[in-house]
Structure 1
Amino acid sequence: MSNIKIKFLGAAGTVTGSKYLITAFGKNILIDCGLFQGLKELRLLNWEPLSFPPAQIDVVLLTHAHLDHTGYLPRLVKEGFTGNIIGTSPTLQVAEIILKDSAKIQEEDAVRANKFHYSKHKPALPLYGLPEVENTLPLFQQQPLNEWININEHIRYRFRYNGHIIGATFIELQLGDKTLVFSGDIGREIDPLLFPPDRPEKANILFVEATYGNRLHPAEPAINSLEILINRCMARNGTIIIPSFSVERTQLLMYLFWQLKKTNKIPDIPIYMDSPMGRNVLEVFHRNTDWHKLSTDECSEMCNTIKRIKSVDETFALAEDNTPKIIIAGSGMAAGGRVLTYFEKYLGDESATILLVGFQAEGTRGRALLEGASEIKMRGKFYAVKAHIENIEGLSGHADQNGLIDWMRKLQSKPDKIFIVHSEADGAKGLQEKIKEVYKWDSEIPVLNQKEEFELKN
């Protein structure tokens, strides 16, 4: 007889910092290893020692590559973790891109903060830098979809396709007689680029995300909404800045703009993609065509429609160009990245438009703009907001409330326990009530560092 212990080290009561520690049969398994983002009190958690010794963790299993699921990995390694970091091939390819980008941004922010003295820390330091990322990458180990992999005689796991972004999966973890299912981030049933997510058939303990647990996506196809909005913005003869997540969202926008241009539904103005990470992720799409709907030729044609910015000098030159244009730039919540250079130029321009195209977490600049902020702080200075702020919800890569409920419909029996994770309070509560209404199942919304224990048999 053995017990399973669960500890919620992140994405409990919040939408970021995904980390779930599972202890059973002599192994400590970490599901995801994400960075906290958004509110300052959350970001400060990244600097606190993990409440479980990293050196005692045996393995990390990754659902997908987003920073809030992988961004703490270099810090984990720095603090003593030496085990394998396991995910699908596209997940590890994208994670390498994301972690290098994250480290570079942190290093540059620290240099800038020290130069202009807008940090209270003397000196300001990055959470981790490129050397820590380089120490992390040798621990990566790829595994295929749909194959059970043994950790020991009592523990095995498998990855299953989940949409959302390229490489994304949900994880089934069998511990003796119990099956734990970790939803990761669940994709949408209908997506222009990705296939529908698979669904679990069995879950004794279910961890389900609720990012959009209290919301429904618009019925209108996103491409139609984008066409109307772009044409309205272009009528003002201004520039459109789109903060965009570099993984999947940027590629989706490129695809939709390509389709709109092909059918002459938007003006023939230049469209730029300014995201080194987004550019690198395009190469992952090219190398992994079995993970998405586009052929190699379609990928190439789409890329040729959009001008890709490479250097920082090109970024500054483009920001100073006053001709109308559309610019897609990271990061998606305007937390950092090259989009801030365009914000410095265009936030105060009444003819310009800032178009938000994804979930904006609490405490981010994107959320502040969405809620009508009159000024935004960037790089130690305040900037007045005079540009038009627009929002399209239908581009999200997350399943909405109906999609989340539908994702559970193949479960053959009621789970012993359902934990609602990866959500702000309203989303978690909304999904909890909907699960009760549809399935008559109870569920729990855990809090950070909550511990649970269940009995297991061999």
Structure 2
Amino acid sequence: MKPFVNVHFLGASGTVTGSKFLIETSEKNILIDCGLFQGLKVLRELNWNNLPIKVNEIDLVLLTHGHLDHVGYLPRLLKQGFKGKIIGTAPTLAIGEIILKDSAKIQEEEAKKANADKYTKHHPALAFYTIKDAENTIKLFQAEEIDTWIQLSKNIAYRFQYNGHIIGATFIELDIFEKRFVFSGDIGREQDYLLETPKKPDKADVLFIESTYGNKLHPDEAIETLLSDLIKDTINKKGQLIIPSFAVERLQTLMYILWKLYQKNKIPNIPIFIDSPMGNNVLDVFNRFPKWHKLSDTEYRAMCNHVTIVQSYKETWDTIDDKRSKIIIAGSGMVTGGRVLTYLKQLIDEPSTTVLLVGYQAEGTRGRQLHDGAHEIKLFGKYYPVKATIKRIDSLSAHADQQELLNWMSAIKNTPEKVFLVHGEPTALDAFRVKIKTVYDWTATIPKLGDVEKIIQ
């Protein structure tokens, strides 16, 4: 058969979420990431559509990392006929397992609650996938090492390379018919509290690069001072500081910073409650894979001992009923689900409450609404007035900013034949396209959802 390579853009194309890229070749069909669309309803509804490809002909899935918008569609892939291996680094698969099980549990619970409280247009409301579906998916997981070329067929090999961002995250290099395809995944920060600096690719004939912050530089914020001031203000107001947090990396980073602030006598010994079952499981992943992060065993244990881990939903209510000033870190980071919704339902209308947003807030999420100054927020089918103070820290992002993205590309010695900008909102994508042309004189394109690009024909 004559060699060919087609790329199908099945997600994270013209938007940030839903990462899925099918590399269709004359030897193997490889899906890079398999994530859920999040945010705007028009995007979330896409999750219910079957993929416009022959899923049963996909040979394997390669995962850049374990976030929901990169792994969350996997159980649906199985329902559409996928039977191959799902391959990532060991920590990525550990995170993926936690996220899939947690996502399935939340979906089952939300469908049950929607049916019981009758705030659904669907009769009955159904879980997008179940815990059993997630468990069937996890059976296909296979771990591989970083920095090692793995031969898939006569003319195709791949390698995972360390990428910061979250524990286990990588970029993927694929050599296909003597062309180097590079999928950036999500690129981490050059300076990170917990993770090392991302590696850089040295060659790319076809480059797929994330553009989440393609139009922005992260502010040079004095994070520790900002947090210290917010905590002191919370104590003065006799209020609560609620931090909606991503369970993977952000929660552990916040724990580390707060522990360090207390050690340095920058903040008093204010109670800190961690209410994220998934975040607790991710802490265990840090414990299991010490070579993937900077924390020593002593630091890890001291950090964990400094906080109170909420173990049950009953303890969530005990925490709400505890009238002391305190810090509550709870999932989810974009306020799309999880335990933080219960806290906000009870406390968002209190002027003494402060809500601190510490990460990217996608369009259509409650986090974005709060970020943009919404006067009310819908929780569990009802609207609640926002009387709490809303604050944000932008520089804790796990994503590289525009300059860091450009730096990550700087070691590529050749001029890529194709540069595809993915995983970004339209304004970020277009600004980054112009910047790449200015800095490197490379012509980048912005694929649309559903596009098919013929690379070799």
TM-score under structure 2 length normalisation: 0.98
Separation of aligned partners in 2, 1:445 and 1:225: 37
1:322 shift after superposition:
2.0
- Contact kept in structure 2, 1:7 and 1:452, CA below 8 Å: yes
CA distance in 1, matches of 2:11, 2:354: 35
Is residue 2:292 matched to residue 1:291?
yes
- 1:109-258 to 2 correspondence within 5 Å? 109-258=110-259
- The answer to which of 47-56 and 405-414 deviates more is 47-56
Deviations 1:391-450 (A, max 9, x none): 000110000011000000000011101000001111111211211111111101111011
User: 2:330 and 2:365 mapped to 1: Cα distance?
Assistant: 16
Q: What is the rounded CA distance, in whole Å, between the counterparts of 2:444 and 2:224 in structure 1? A: 36
Partner of 1:358: 359
Please list the CA deviations of residues 55-97 of structure 1 after superposition, one character each: whole Å capped at 9, or x if unmatched.
1111000000000000000111122110000000000001000
Give the distance between the partners of 1:228 and 1:451, measured in 2 at CA. Answer: 51
Q: After TM superposition, give the deviation of residue 378 of structure 1 in Å.
A: 1.0
Deviation, 1:264, is: 1.3
Give the Cα separation in 2 of the matches to 1:359 and 1:108: 26
1:38 has 2:27 as partner: no
1:427 matches 2:395: no
Specify the alignment match of 1:5 in structure 2. 6
3-state SS of paired residue (2:453): strand
Aligned to 1:335: 336
Tell me which residue corresponds to 2:88: 87
Instruction: Give, in whole Å, the separation in 1 of the partners of 2:111 and 2:70.
Output: 23
- Structure 1 CA distance for aligned equivalents of residues 223 and 172 of structure 2: 29
Q: What is the alpha-carbon distance in structure 2 between the residues aligned to residue 220 and residue 48 of structure 1?
A: 42
CA gap of 1:119–1:414, structure 2 versus 1, over 3 A, is same
Q: Which residue of 1 aligns with 2:73?
A: 72
Alignment partners' CA distance in 1, 2:229 and 2:162: 33
CA distance in 2, matches of 1:220, 1:384: 30
Alignment-mate amino acid for residue 128 of structure 1: Y
CA distance in 2: counterparts of 1:228 and 1:436, whole angstroms: 42
Mapped pair 1:62 → 2:63: yes
How far off is 1:455 after superposition? 1.9
2:350 equivalent to 1:349: yes
Distance in 2 between the 1:220 and 1:359 partners?
Answer: 16
The answer on whether the counterparts of 2:27 and 2:153 sit within 8 Å (CA) in structure 1 is no
Deviation at 1:291, TM superposition (A): 0.5
1:379 is aligned to: 380
Contact 1:349–1:387 under 8 Å retained in 2: yes
> Which residue in 1 is equivalent to 2:97?
96
- Cα deviation 1:321-363 (Å, max 9, x = unaligned): 2221000000000000000000001100000000000000000
Aligned to 2:108: 107
Within 5 Å, which residues of 2 pair with 1:383-394? 383-394=384-395
Match of 1:436 in 2: 437
Whether the 8 Å CA contact 1:25–1:154 is kept in 2: the answer is no
Distance of 1:199 and 1:232 partners within structure 2: 42
- 1:25 CA drift (Å): 2.6
- Assess if the C-alpha contact under 8 Å between 1:354 and 1:390 holds in 2: yes
Question: Mean alpha-carbon deviation: is it higher for 293-302 or for 85-94?
Answer: 293-302
Q: Structure 1 length normalisation: TM-score?
A: 0.98
Deviation digits for residues 350-398 of structure 1, max 9, x if unmatched?
A: 0000000000000000000000101111111111100000000011000
Per the TM alignment, residue 48 of structure 1 is displaced from its structure 2 partner at its CA by 0.6
Determine the structure 2 residue equivalent to 1:53. 54
Instruction: Name the counterpart of 2:308.
Output: 307
Q: Counterpart of 2:197 in 1: which secondary structure?
A: coil
The alpha carbon displacement at 1:231 in A equals: 2.6
The CA RMSD over aligned residues, in Å, is 0.9
Contact 1:275 1:338 in 2 (8 A): yes
Please report how far the alpha carbon of residue 233 of structure 1 lies from its aligned counterpart in structure 2 after TM superposition: 3.4
Provide Cα deviations, 1:273-317, integer angstroms capped at 9, x if missing partner.
100000000000011110000011111110000110010110112
- The offset of 1:452, in angstroms, is 0.3
Secondary structure of residue in 2 paired with 1:60: strand
| Paired positions, count | 456
Q: Distance in 1 between matches of 2:234 and 2:434?
A: 39
Identity %: 56
CA distance in 2 between counterparts of 1:197 and 1:222 reads 22
**Aligned amino acid, residue 334 of structure 1:** V
Mapped contact 1:221–1:394 kept (Cα < 8 A): no
Q: Structure 1: which 5+ runs fail to align? A: none
Helix, strand or coil at the partner of 2:286: helix
Aligned counterpart, 2:369: 368
Misfit runs of 4+, over 6 Å: none
CA shift, 1:15, in A, is 0.3
Give 3-state SS (helix, strand or coil) of 1:411's partner.
Answer: coil
Tell me by how many angstroms 1:223 deviates. 2.5
